[in-house]
Amino acid sequence: MTPVTVFQDKTVALFGLGGSGLATALALKAGGAAVQAWDDNADSLARAREAGIETRDLREADWSGFAAFVLSPGVPLTHPEPHWSVRLARDAGVAIIGDIELFCRERRARAPGAPFVAITGTNGKSTTTALIAHVLAQGGRDVQMGGNIGTAILSLEPPAADRVHVIEMSSFQIDLTPSLDPSVGVLMNITPDHLDRHGTMEQYAAIKERLIQGAGLAVVGVDDAPSRAIADRRGADLVRVHVPHGDVLCTDALTVRDGIVREPDGTALADVNGIGSLRGAHNWQNAAVAVAVARALDLSPEQIQAGLTSFPGLPHRMEEVGRRGHVLFVNDSKATNADSTEKALTAFRDIHWILGGKAKEGGIFPLVPYFERVAHAYLIGAASDAFAATLEGAVPYTRCETLENAVPKAAENAAASGAPEPVVLLSPACASYDQFRNFEIRGNRFRELVQALP
């Protein structure tokens, strides 16, 4: 835990007592603050009381006595409309902040300049966060990883000069961190997302940009127009990262071609070819960003290459879960829309593709250019009719209804295909909610079914 001492002997209001909210309340209490916390969920309130946190309905509180208001990032700050607690805080002139803002203030008070890497982006930020943390840890560093990737930042060990915090940040978390000042700030990419919470694409991009504005060094992927514009505005203390595609060409960036990360002058820095957890152009960008961050934190080229090579990947993100003979089985259950599935389809050939679930807007029509990579499709879930219509005449398909039916059928066909390395790929391009509570449960079930194959 990181005790938050910067509010010692002061009273702090807090709304949202999920995992990070409860960790925040406990960290404030450990640092000597008085906390008055609330949540609309009765179970969360009960857990907080059991942990010794004072709960109080903030609609009945005297806001003039609060030094700050800590808001859970899952609670609307601006759109579609501010939460009632946000309106009360603003009316009382109380600063609205999040748990990462508390960490930033504690870092400045406790260990100014302690290494702090913050990563954001619409896609790829979790894999990149895990990859950076892995490379640094393999290089002998004391690494604390958390934030949006799963572990609340205040549950981690405190900042220190010889300890690196590697923190994934969502746009919601950035919005609640006004004094964000990482040693290294990473922006992977920007595509439309969460506009229901941010209003416009311009506002969403502006929030993402704030992560690198206060960073000592900025590392920016420049393969999309909003990110290129942000990099241009940043100017100094900047590393651009570029994976050439189409007519986009950047000559002053770390560039990845054919799996080799290179300096702008062409000097090779790292090789990601043959690393199963880093297949595909999107993972090349992730690797190049990790190289840039690790170099900035003084790892040697040999340490960086060893870290990349040993990276195990993340569960449910193009996760290699096994082989049966020459057939590779890949769990990409995290791919809940076409954009995510596109990355898997570009990484493999001779694909036996298991897809379906609760469809997103646009379905799989954007994936038509990649159908030539698919040997056979296996349809499950509610989207089967719609997806069959898109596949008709382009890809042979079988209606399987469930994952339990699809996995053995795909395994049988792949083994008999005659291809040198056929792939059974679960990349649903759909939410899981028609048959599974979340994508993790769906991916775990796929893994179980693969392991049960003869």
Question: How much of the chain, in percent, has pLDDT values that exceed 70?
Answer: 99
Q: Give the phi and the psi of residue 396 in degrees, each rounded to 5.
A: -65, 140
Helix (H, G, I), strand (E, B) or coil at 227: helix
* pLDDT surpassing 80 at residue 291: yes
Among residues 134, 148, 283, 413, the one annotated as catalytic is 148
User: Average model confidence (pLDDT) for the chain?
Assistant: 95
> Tokens 């698919």 belong to which residue?
374
Shared domain check, 236 and 111: yes
- Other Cβ atoms less than 10 A from the Cβ of 233: the count is 11
Does the active-site annotation cover 148?
Answer: yes
64 to each of 39, 89, 174, how far by Cα in Å? Answer: 20, 9, 26
In a domain, 433, yes or no: yes
327-331 and 351-356 strand pairing: unpaired
Q: What is the pLDDT of residues 215-255, one digit of tens each?
A: 999 999 999 999 999 999 998 999 999 998 766 677 789 99
Locus of tokens 């997302």: 193
Which residue in this structure is represented by tokens 């003869």? 454
- Specify whether 334 is catalytic: no
| CA angle at 166 for the pair 164 and 169, rounded to the nearest 5° | 150
Say yes or no: 328 and 297 in one domain.
no
pLDDT at 193 over 70: no
In which band, very low, low, confident or very high, does the pLDDT at 54 lie, cut at 50, 70 and 90?
very high
Contact present, 136 and 116 (Cβ < 8 Å)? no
- Asked if residue 1 belongs to a domain, the reply is no
In a domain, residue 153? The reply is yes
Residue labelled with tokens 């000069």: 161
Catalytic-labelled residue, pool 10, 79, 194, 360:
194
CATH number at residue 181: 3.40.1190.10
Q: What pLDDT score was predicted for residue 247?
A: 64
Exactly one of 125, 242, 334, 376 is catalytic; name it: 125
376 classed as catalytic: no
Question: Where in the sequence is the domain holding 344, given as residue range(s)?
Answer: 317-450
Contact predicate 380/406, CB 8 Å:
yes
CA-to-CA distance for 76 and 58, rounded, in angstroms?
16
Q: Which of 212, 157, 208 is nearest to 181 (CA)?
A: 212
55-107 per-position pLDDT tens digit: 999 999 999 999 999 999 989 999 899 999 999 999 999 999 999 999 999 99
Q: Tokens standing for 156?
A: 């981690």
Binding residues: 121-127
What total of structural domains would you count in the chain?
Answer: 3
Annotated binding site for ATP: 121-127
Kindly report the backbone phi and psi dihedral angles of residue 270, in degrees, each rounded to the nearest multiple of 5, phi listed first: -160, 160
Same domain, 391 and 266: no
Count of Cβ atoms closer than 10 Å to residue 229 Cβ: 14
Q: What is the mean pLDDT of residues 151-170?
A: 97
Q: Is residue 228 part of a domain?
A: yes
